[in-house]
Structures are given as C-alpha cells and as structure tokens.
Structure 1
C-alpha cells in the first residue's frame, strides 16, 4: 500500500565530505526544518523519546547532554501545508548519512490538482534550499531517485566505482580522502562556465541556478515533483562521460579508480 512506501524527501551520505561535527550539523538542520515544519518528537537510541520540542534549545540541550545516546536520532515533524490529513516526516541523523523521509509514497504531491502539486513541490524546494545553504553541507539530493541537487558542482561527477562505496555505510568514512581529492581535481580542471552551460543547454536555464558559497541548484523535474525531465542516473552517467571526453582533450584523466 502507498502508506507503507518509505521515500527520502532529501538526503546526503555525508561521512565522506561533511565539514563539521555531524551531530552539531544535524542539530542545525533540525533548527532549519523547524522554521518550516512543526517538530513533535525526538527519539534517540535505547527508545529515548522527548515530546516537548519547543523551543529548539530543548532539542539541542538534550542531544548534547548524551552524545552516545544520540549518535543516531530521529526528529518527527508535522507538515502544516497538508491540511486534509496528518502528514508526518522524519529527519534521521547518523554518522554516515542524513535523510528526511515520509511513508505515503509521495501521494500528497500527486493530487488531482496540478497547482497544489506545484505549490507543495515548491514548498519542499524552499526547505531543501534552506538546508542546502548550510556551509557544512557540500552535497544534498532531493528524493531517493535524485529529482534535484544542491551543492558543489563537482559532486555531480559521480564515478560509479567510488560512489558505490560512498553510499554503503560501512565504507562511507573511508572514502573521504578520495572524494576530497576528486572534488579538488574537478574544480581545478573543469571550468564552472563550461559546466553551467552544459547543464542549462540540456535542462533549461530555469533548472540551473547558482547559489552562494560556490554551490548550484539543479532541478531534474518540471514544476511537479513527480514529473521528471530526465532519468537522473542516466543523465549523470552521460555527464560523466562528457566531462571525461572534455578533459582527455587536455590530456587529463580525472578519476583513475
């Protein structure tokens, strides 16, 4: 049933590149989400549950009082935009990943009213943009199958042999040096203008925006969250091949794994 389908509304496998302590960053993300959504429960390991989450300082104080207990924690939110039913999302924070999930198979984004779908998609994008602006986050994706991206452009270059390990929790932290080196090499050899032009030519100028701190926002959908412009994984494989071809003309091989 749709109600049993877990989807990630936004996620990052952050152990390989996160700038800062993941618990502190997770708390910052929680605070950002509380500007948009109503937090109602904090749950840590060993069934620790905190119900009174207003103000935010109560969450920060609780988590930092016992880091061992909150090495992995969840914060549950109500989404006030969905008025016809109770719509719950959960933020999950751990060493190797952070994701914001739901259990209804995206049905609130697939009503019969296209304007409602577009409005709710935009509201999620606003949250997504707010979170992605955090300086510690260099890569953030929207929806499990990557409907949108925000972060450093280099993270769109995703050699499969490396990112298979990045996204497998027991190897995430071990890939940090490889990811950092690849990002540095990409930024040194791939002109930003070339990359922006490439993305805009294929997705449309409205789908690619520059952000602060050198980040970009790339949308792989058209107005409604479930209306994909492209198959993202195929698009990224093609992008990787074109980057490799571009650099080989200069005698550069970016990833040797």
Structure 2
C-alpha cells in the first residue's frame, strides 16, 4: 500500500473489566469477524504460525494448543467487499486490550463517491455491532478517535485521571477494581433513561439505539465514517461534567480520583 497509517477500526481496553478468559473471548471475536471477512494468517507476535486458514477451528485449535505462547496473538483478515485493491485488517488480542486495525489511513472510507463511503461505513457498523453484542464485551469503540460506541452507558463516563491509566497498557489490569466500582456506582445513581435522553437530545434520536444486555449504541458520525457529527472527546468531557452536576444535586460525588 502507498500509505502506512495505522488506525484502529474498533478497540476495547478490556483488561479493565473483562471477567472471563480473554483468550477465549478473543477467539469468539475472531469467529464473529470470520462471518464478515476472510481470515488469512495467524501470528503469535513473533513467528507466523498459520497461513491460508481454512476454518475457524484451525485457529482455535492452534491458539488453545499453547496458551502461554498465544498470550498475545494477531489474526490478519482480507475484506473482500473492497474490490479495487486488497484491503487488509488485523485483529490484535492481548490481556490488556483488543484492537482491530487497518493501515491505509481510512482511505477506502473517503472515496469521491459518498454512497460508497456510506455503504462501507454501514458494513463496518454491522461488524462492529455484531462484535459488540458479545456478552463479555461491556464497552467497544469504533475508530481510535471514537466515532461510535456500543456497551454499557456507564463507560461513557470517563474521568481523565482514571482512563489515562486504563489506556496506558501497563496499568490496565491494575485499574480493574476501580473501573468496576465506578461502573456500579454510575448504574446505581444515574438512570439509564436519563443517559439515553441526554444523548438523543444532543445527537439526534437516530444516533442512539437501545441494544440487548443493557447496552446502547451511540454514533458520533453522520452516515460517512469520516464525517463527524461532534468532536467525541469534547462531547464526552461535557457529558462527564453534566453527569457530575446532575449527581451533585443529589449530594453524590461519583469519582473522587
């Protein structure tokens, strides 16, 4: 490829909350992605181990054959819906995070044809929603600058001092109890309906959907992935401030860090 600009198509720092076996959950995510994309290679982070993968079971068998070796692993996919070039993505699984990456600077999402851009955005959203529906995933973000979110509403409340550690990799697992406590406090004191009304008022009803398993889906873009409706980082900081103001009226301080 002419460009080599790494972007995350979806990600979660699941070391901060995942209660199950991240290797097993990562395999589940791999299987979901294989419904949409063509798996081409499995790597253990050091040596290529499987090429020209013929089935999900071959990946599962290889990873589970040596869990210590596959404490970190990558699966490379080809997206056959992009016909003008070979478009490759990579799923990265570790104990601290899950990343689904691409390396062309989102080029295929901002062609000159707006309809193609919208179709490819919707296809990514379908994959994103399918992955985020896994019961073990409590938060999943689409694109590294957070163009969309699916998960429990509490994960939209992101105190900077905490989440700098959550996303710092070395500290991700150390923050687990703190994140779980904060999520529990949020769910106790902030009504789900209040969150949904807040988001719909500012983003539009079409951008916020109520999902299964207590999750919601929030879109911060407008049809095309590269057309942001809001600056999501600023939006989330404002949301945090308004949650704090709402709870202050009840005499509650949610995060004391």
Q: TM-score, normalised by structure 1?
A: 0.98
* Secondary structure, aligned partner of 2:149: strand
Map of 1:112 onto structure 2: 112
Q: In the alignment, is the contact (CA less than 8 A) between 1:139 and 1:149 conserved in 2?
A: yes
Map of 2:124 onto structure 1: 124
Q: Provide closer, same or farther for how the CA distance between residues 147 and 2 of structure 1 changes in structure 2, counting only shifts above 3 A.
A: farther
Matched, 1:69 2:66: no
Q: In the alignment, is the contact (CA less than 8 A) between 1:13 and 1:167 conserved in 2?
A: yes
- Structure 1 position 95, deviation (Å): 0.7
| Structure 2 Cα separation of the partners of residues 154 and 108 of structure 1 | 32
Map of 2:219 onto structure 1: 219
Q: TM-score, normalised by structure 2?
A: 0.98
Q: Provide closer, same or farther for how the CA distance between residues 209 and 41 of structure 1 changes in structure 2, counting only shifts above 3 A.
A: same
Matched, 1:230 2:221: no
Q: In the alignment, is the contact (CA less than 8 A) between 1:2 and 1:103 conserved in 2?
A: no
* 1:126-175 deviation digits (Å, cap 9, x = unpaired): 00000000011000000010000000000000000000000001100000
- Structure 1 position 31, deviation (Å): 0.1
| Number of matched pairs | 257
| Structure 2 Cα separation of the partners of residues 80 and 3 of structure 1 | 20
| Structure 2 Cα separation of the partners of residues 83 and 147 of structure 1 | 25
Matched, 1:57 2:57: yes
* 1:8-36 deviation digits (Å, cap 9, x = unpaired): 00001110111310000000000000000
| Structure 1 Cα separation of the partners of residues 206 and 75 of structure 2 | 33
Matched, 1:138 2:138: yes
Point out where structure 2 has 5 or more consecutive residues left out of the alignment: none
Superposed counterparts of 1:163-242, under 5 Å: 163-242=163-242
Map of 2:33 onto structure 1: 33
* Secondary structure, aligned partner of 2:99: strand
Which stretches of structure 1, 4 residues or longer, exceed 6 Å deviation after superposition? none
Matched, 1:16 2:26: no
| Structure 2 Cα separation of the partners of residues 118 and 2 of structure 1 | 23
- Structure 1 position 2, deviation (Å): 6.3
Map of 1:250 onto structure 2: 250
- Structure 1 position 3, deviation (Å): 1.5
Q: Provide closer, same or farther for how the CA distance between residues 207 and 2 of structure 1 changes in structure 2, counting only shifts above 3 A.
A: farther
RMSD (Å) for aligned C-alpha atoms? 0.9
* 1:100-122 deviation digits (Å, cap 9, x = unpaired): 00000001000010000000000
Point out where structure 1 has 5 or more consecutive residues left out of the alignment: none
Q: In the alignment, is the contact (CA less than 8 A) between 1:141 and 1:148 conserved in 2?
A: yes
| Structure 2 Cα separation of the partners of residues 192 and 43 of structure 1 | 41
- Structure 1 position 53, deviation (Å): 1.8
| Structure 1 Cα separation of the partners of residues 149 and 238 of structure 2 | 16
| Structure 2 Cα separation of the partners of residues 121 and 2 of structure 1 | 22
Map of 1:152 onto structure 2: 152
* 1:192-237 deviation digits (Å, cap 9, x = unpaired): 1111000000000000001000000000000000000000000000
| Structure 1 Cα separation of the partners of residues 94 and 191 of structure 2 | 34
More divergent stretch after superposition (11-20 vs 47-56): 47-56
Q: In the alignment, is the contact (CA less than 8 A) between 2:41 and 2:48 conserved in 1?
A: no
